[in-house]
Amino acid sequence: MNGLKPNDIRCFEQSQLLYENSRDILLFVRLRDGRILEASRSALEAYQYSRQELLSKTIFDLRAPDTASEIITQMSAADHSGVLFETSHRRKDGTVFPVEVSSQGASIGGERVLFSIVRDITERKLAEQAILRERGELEYIMDIAPVMIFYKDRGNRIVRVNRARAEASGLTREEMEGKSAFDLFPHQADGYWKDDRDVMNSGKPKRGIVEMIETSKGPMWIRTDKFPYRNGVGKVTGVIGFSVDITELKQLEEGLREMALRDPLTGLYNRRGFITLAEQQLKTVKRSKRPLLLTYVDIDGLKQINDALGHEEGDRALTDTAGILRGTFRESDIIARIGGDEFAVLSLDVADMNREAYSARLQGNVDAFNALRQRPYTVALSWDTAVCDPRAPLSLDKLLSAADQLMYRHKKDK
């Protein structure tokens, strides 16, 4: 053995069993010049040298060229306190393979020597690369998925979000991950956290959660399914959610709802729409302590217009009346065609207006329309109003009935 004294040789011989059977590469390297003094059988197999060839080499010969600048520093650290690092070694044929090196300095025969255990980590690196590749593929799949995905732990911290969820929030993934919903969405976090706890505590999914969230592009309606996230032993460690943007669907539903509440001819609310909205307003009367005014309107002589001029002209009379009512009442008032020739208007917050003022305004608009002489008939309306007093509020049926009776009394008095 190169440069070793008899006692040192005996030391190596005592380690012969380890040298002959170790799967790791074992090397003794002289510190001052990096000369390889002894190597295990596994070293000969790994580097593809004969023993004589290998013992004529230095550690510099075994390292990949692009790692040469690190060798002196690593040898000094190994001699001082021991070191563990990863690098690349090369075989006799020039091929390079990754290794993990554990090296420790020792004195043998009065000379400093490094004892190095070198492990070929090719399989580990391949496995890590496979994991990274799979992780990259998973991230790619998550980011192209047309749904918003998030994973939160039991501490309400967002562990992972995909690109769609981050973009919906107007944030980057880095800005979201590691934060809680209370940090990012303080006004909605309580609701989110309640659903999360339900899922984690029950271990069962919660589907079809519909809610509106604020995004960088404005309000968005989403439908979310939440599932318990389990670790390798089946313990629930968090919640994973999948959200779908249903804004267009909600708008379509709202459009359909609005259509169901509208009279297609005049564009005013129909009877169903009027009742729906009026009932909501009547519930607030007592609380707001402000009166409501219900005006009941009937077209005079609509049957005669239909009989003499046709139903097309009768439809024009209806749309003309709708226009007059729109011009008379405020945008906040609920205006509806509730029957063939009957209209109703629920005026809100009328503390500063009285029945006479409404009546005069309406008559003025009717007269102004007729003065234009655009139709082969004169628009004539009968109307009257009933007041809903917050101190003694009426039901909608009673309010409509009262206004209807007053209107017909006015009609007979013409």
Question: Mean pLDDT across the chain, nearest whole number?
Answer: 86
% of the chain residues with pLDDT over 70: 88
Question: Per mean pLDDT, which range of 3-7, 73-77, 134-138, 239-243 is the poorest?
Answer: 3-7
pLDDT band at 45 (very low <50, low <70, confident <90, very high): very high
**Domains in the chain, start-ordered, CATH in brackets?**
6-120 (3.30.450.20), 126-250 (3.30.450.20), 261-412 (3.30.70.270)
| pLDDT digits 0-9 by tens, 216-259 | 777 888 899 999 999 889 999 999 999 998 988 888 777 777 77
Regarding pTM above 0.85, the answer is no
Containing H/E element for 381? strand 381-388
Copy the structure tokens of residue 324: 């007059």
Question: Per mean pLDDT, which range of 222-226, 256-260, 291-295, 306-310 is the poorest?
Answer: 256-260
Phi, psi of 266 (to 5 degrees): -95, -20
Are 256 and 273 in contact by the 8 Å Cβ rule? The answer is no
Q: In 3-state terms, the chain is what percent helix, strand and coil (to 5)?
A: 45, 30, 25
Are 262 and 268 in contact by the 8 Å Cβ rule? The answer is yes
